[in-house]
Every structure is written in structure tokens, then in C-alpha cells.
Amino acid sequence: MGAMRTACCMVRRAAAATAGLILLAGCGASGGSAKDNGKGSGGRTAEASRYTENIPGVGAKLRSRIPGDTRQVVAVYGKGADSADATLALYTKTAKGWERTVAWPAHNGRKGWTTDHHEDDMRSPVGVFSLSDAGGVLPDPGAKLPYTHSSAFTPPTYWGKRTWHDFDHVIAVDYNRVKGTTPLDPTRPQGQKKGGGIWLHLDHGNGTSGCVSISKAGMVSLLRTLDPRQHPVVVMGDTAHLTD
């Protein structure tokens, strides 16, 4: 990913010049009538049903990779192994369990997902990755993560017009990058061929080159919510890999 011609990956030339399930139904059961005292057919209250012991749709394999001190999980549920359609949901861990607080329609790599990501494969990497740094063309909207405001995020003008605002706000996915640096940092600890520059960023209506994209409102919400003190991570992949 890293090449200027890709529509999602970290823009290496700009960096060098200046220093990316299905929409879950509401978790709460219907409130019930006075006759059942607010309990659903299963006997659980609507309040209790808002919480789950584990992140829905995430199997033991990936769940074991979520750090014990993580209290915020961004779950990206890809529709299929070769699909660019996804849903992004935010979960917060409380004393009662994991609570899904919000979700948005999303897109991932235009060719789908992979467990062996490589530069320019147009697929998003499956896995669990920390979220530690943010930035964008637009000023900091109140992010809790360190935020780099720079025009260097601006896509080149020869990209399609619909992509020109992709990087107004971004959150770096810590895949093959150095944590604690600007998302523009081109360093690839595992080598250039393993790709990099995987971000969460603004959506332009279809698949990306490997990043995950959601609406501007969604990105602003994530930036204002994800807190480094809560050790946020993203768990991402298609349904089959997520439930493995």
C-alpha cells in the first residue's frame, strides 16, 4: 500500500515531503409490556440484554489477541472474504460486559480480506491491531488520540474527485507501522512488501485499497471517543475469519 496511486494507503510521497457482520441490530430487546415487567421472551431484561460477555461475531482465536486491559474495541465485520462491504461497530467494556454503543456502514479493501496482506493486493488485513495515532487534512475535532493536522494528508489532484476528502480525518491501524508516530510516517518494520498505511478514514462510497472507511460523522465520533487510556484496538475481518 504506500504508493501514491492507491486510494487508501499512506501517501509516501507526501510523507517524505513533510515528515488507514452485518449491521448489528440494536442490542436491547424490546422493552416488553407491563404484563411481563419489561422482560423479553427469554426472561432477560432489556437492560441486561445490552451487554454481552464477548464481542459478538468474534471467535476465540482473535478474541485471545485482544489485550486484557483493552476497554474499547472497534469491530469491523466484513460481509464476505471477497466483498468490499462491511459494518463497523464500537464496543465498550463495562462492569456488566461489552456494550455495543454505535455502528456505521463501512467499506474495506475492494477485493476483500486476507490473512497475508501484501502491498497493492487491494485487500484489508484480518486481525487485531491497536489504534494509537490519528490525523488529517482538517483540524483536530477533539480527538483523544494524538492528532497530526497537516496538509500532507491531502490526496493528489489526479485521484478521482470522490476520494479527495478521504483523509480529512484518519486513524492509523497499527499494522506494519511504528506506534506513537504520525500516520504519515512511512516506516515499515516488516518491510515494504508487507504493505502499510492501513487507516480508518472517510468513505467515498465503495471499496478501498486496504483501509476501512466510514462516514465523516462516524470518524469524528470515533476520534472523540477512542481513548489511549482505554487501550483501543480494532478487530477486523470477514465473517468466516472473525468467527474462527
Q: What is the pTM of this model?
A: 0.81
Using an 8 Å Cβ cutoff, are 108 and 125 in contact? no
Question: Has residue 24 got a pLDDT over 70?
Answer: no
Name which of 197, 196, 214 is nearest 205 in CA terms. Answer: 214
Averaged over 143-159, what is the pLDDT?
96
Q: Which amino acid is at 131?
A: L
CA distance 115 to 175: 12
What was the pLDDT predicted at 27?
Answer: 24
Residue 90, Cβ neighbours under 10 Å: how many? 20
Task: Report the C-alpha gap between 136 and 143 in whole angstroms.
Answer: 11
Q: Is the pLDDT of residue 41 over 50?
A: no
